[in-house]
Structure 1
Amino acid sequence: MDRKTYQQRRDFLVSLGQALHKFGTPSFRIENHMLNVCRALELDGYFLVSPTLLTVVLWIPGENKKHNYHIRVKPGDLDLGSLAKTDKLVDDVISGNCEIGEAATKLKDIQNEPPPYSVKTTWFAFGLTSGAFAMLVGQNWSEVWVSSVAGLIVFGVILLVERFASSGEALDPLVALVAALFGGFASYWFPEINVPLVVLSGIIVFIPGLSITLALKDLAARHLISGTSRFMDSMLCLCKLYFGSALGSALVKLVWVKPVMEPVVTIPDWMDIVAVPLLSLSLIIVFKNRLRDTPWGLLCCFLAYGGALFGSQYLGEGMGPFLGALIVGIYSNIWSRATGMSSLIILLHGVVLLVPGSKAYIGLDKVINNGVAFVDLPQIGVQTFMMFMSILAGLIFARMIFPAKKSL
């Protein structure tokens, strides 16, 4: 292999690692996929990926000289549309349909592409996500409408922070603070609403249930550095969100204390059939999926929700998500084999309906606000823990029963 060819393949692999990390791919999948691509390009190497560091070591088989690259990266956000394009580009390179130099240029273009959906569309998606979640867990229509407005306000805060703040460190507590202020004052005109539920629905996109699940998946795959870092970051995010909502509630109480009311139930149970596809459609925009993948993502959400309900009925609420995760894991792997694309593109849509991040938030609220003793915290968290473990076990068993061909 001549020097120029090696440099082109080296640069492509390093850029590929950065791109996959930027698009929110779990660390263990990045490492496995890059190793397979590396060998397909007739190189050898090993890779270490963490939320903030990408380490690449490459060498030509049969030679002793190794080249090390250490790249400081920022934690990535989910961009499943760009991930799908990158996956297709890698397939073209390996099959010989795209030259390595051209592929490197296309990879940079994918990373620099503007968001697939406009600001207005994404803004609407945030409101729809909050409203659909409130429809699933709430009791009356007032909670749905107020939650939808809270989601719209939260996205407005995101735009302001991106425009005027040099750092996004304060974003998590700030959006929770604004949602709590809005929910508290909205209860003056809509006293029948459950304010904590409205706050949770307004910031549901920020609740780190999915990131906790991915962190546990990293740990289960023995990627200890990445899994531990991701888990601690998720827990800190949860605490920041709770602090912001607690501060907002305290500020509201300085002005007005909501009277205690009996819950008003006006949402029929069958509305779940409407709420699930609405939540799924909104997540298509939030996760930046391609429109062509929308039907498969919607089906994955229905399978996850139906499997979890069926499992909860026969296995118990804590074990119910196991069946949902098992079904969506097998389904996404079948889809991956049929289309030749990464199973992540649709899998995460099902997993996000199973993750109990909101239960962790609610449990923390009970401990702080309802006078629950901290010695009772294990009992409060045991169901949440079992649900996380159930999801993790379901995904692991799905990979054993029907593994996907692709490592990504």
Structure 2
Amino acid sequence: MREADEVLAGVVAGGLAALVATFVAPLNLNTVVIASMIVLMPGMALTNAFSELTSQHLISGTARLFGALATLLKLTVGTMIALIALQLLGLEPQVRALRPQPAWVEWGAVVTASWAFAALFRSGRRDIALVMAAAIAGYQISRLGGQWLGSPIGVFLSALVITVAGNGYAQWRNRPGALIRVPGIIMLVPGSTSLRTLLVAVQQQDVVAGQQAAITVVNVLLALIAGLLVGNLLLPARRSL
């Protein structure tokens, strides 16, 4: 049954979101489904896979890459099973997107997500504030850089700064630099974008739309990996922390 966990998660998330959109209130359906499965997204696995491939670790990189793709496919299959089943029953979810969101919604979501990631990573009590600060900083640097110079450059700058900060923290405090690196880039990895790509391609039966979204995923991945590599060049980690 473990192989079907992601499929079942997609069925439950897609089914509940569609039922709410049908009987309660209109929803931005894909966004709600993706948000409900965010902890299952293989964004970090995709990033690690491409990082290992660029480091010539071909076997482990390929294994991680196809594992991440398999996860995305299973989440997509589960979601589409739920949506198509409800469609066959004659239910039509009411889809509505509200953009842009007020600033307080965005900041509330960022703070809540950073706290959730601290809990997900099982951070110690003394590290919770550091993990939250790293997650918020990574997001904010990417956002501001994206507004000024474009989204890929924003992701690159964020990954660069977070990597240097993590390596510097490891050298200064003799503690794991991953306390900053991992939460700092967790909101940048393209897991949700990858799933949205597949959902759009399947729902709209539009290869062009899927290709455009896939290019966005690749751009984010390349920018993220470039930032990590350049950051390690500027301030290498002296120890495996």
Q: TM-score normalized by structure 1?
A: 0.56
Aligned partner of 1:396 in structure 2 is 229
Q: Unmatched 5+ residue regions in structure 1?
A: 1-166
1:312 to 125, 130, 146: 146
- Number of aligned positions between the proteins: 241
Structure 1 letter corresponding to 2:195: Y
Q: Unmatched 5+ residue regions in structure 2?
A: none
Structure 2 letter corresponding to 1:224: L
Matched, 1:254 2:100: no
Matched, 1:360 2:194: yes
The one-character-per-residue Cα deviations of 1:172-202 (angstroms, maximum 9, x if unpaired) are 1111111111111111233321122111111
Aligned partner of 1:381 in structure 2 is 214
Distance 1:207 1:405, change over 3 A: same
Structure 1 letter corresponding to 2:138: A
The one-character-per-residue Cα deviations of 1:330-369 (angstroms, maximum 9, x if unpaired) are 1111111122122123311111111111111111112111
- Equivalence map 1:116-135=2 (5 Å): none
Shift of 1:258: 2.5
Distance 1:293 1:267, change over 3 A: same
Quick one: percent identity of the two aligned structures? 27
Distance 1:318 1:331, change over 3 A: same
Aligned partner of 2:28 in structure 1 is 194
The alignment yields a C-alpha RMSD, in angstroms, of 1.9
Cα distance in structure 2, aligned partners of 1:265 and 1:256 = 29
Aligned partner of 1:341 in structure 2 is 175
8 Å Cα contact 1:355-1:387 kept in structure 2: yes
Cα distance in structure 2, aligned partners of 1:237 and 1:291 = 32
Matched, 1:241 2:75: yes
8 Å Cα contact 1:172-1:206 kept in structure 2: yes
Structure 2 letter corresponding to 1:405: R
Shift of 1:376: 5.9
Matched, 1:227 2:56: no
Cα distance in structure 2, aligned partners of 1:381 and 1:219 = 19
Cα distance in structure 2, aligned partners of 1:275 and 1:299 = 14
Cα distance in structure 1, aligned partners of 2:64 and 2:97 = 38
Q: Which of the two has greater helix per residue? A: 2
Structure 1 letter corresponding to 2:234: I
8 Å Cα contact 1:303-1:327 kept in structure 2: no
Which of structures 1 and 2 has the larger relative contact order (alpha carbons within 8 angstroms, sep 6+)? Answer: 2
- Equivalence map 1:62-101=2 (5 Å): none
Cα distance in structure 2, aligned partners of 1:237 and 1:253 = 24
Structure possessing the higher radius of gyration over alpha carbons: 1
Aligned partner of 1:185 in structure 2 is 19
The one-character-per-residue Cα deviations of 1:255-277 (angstroms, maximum 9, x if unpaired) are 34326555456941233222212
Structure 2 letter corresponding to 1:193: L
172-181 vs 283-292, which deviates more? 283-292
- Equivalence map 1:258-337=2 (5 Å): 258=92, 260=94, 262-264=96-98, 267-337=101-171
8 Å Cα contact 1:318-1:384 kept in structure 2: no
Q: TM-score normalized by structure 2?
A: 0.93
Structure 2 letter corresponding to 1:179: A
Structure 1 letter corresponding to 2:79: S
Cα distance in structure 2, aligned partners of 1:256 and 1:377 = 27
Q: Which of the two has greater strand per residue? A: 1
Aligned partner of 1:208 in structure 2 is 42
8 Å Cα contact 2:27-2:94 kept in structure 1: no
8 Å Cα contact 2:26-2:93 kept in structure 1: no
Runs of 4+ in 1 over 4 A off after TM superposition: 259-262, 264-267
8 Å Cα contact 1:328-1:347 kept in structure 2: yes
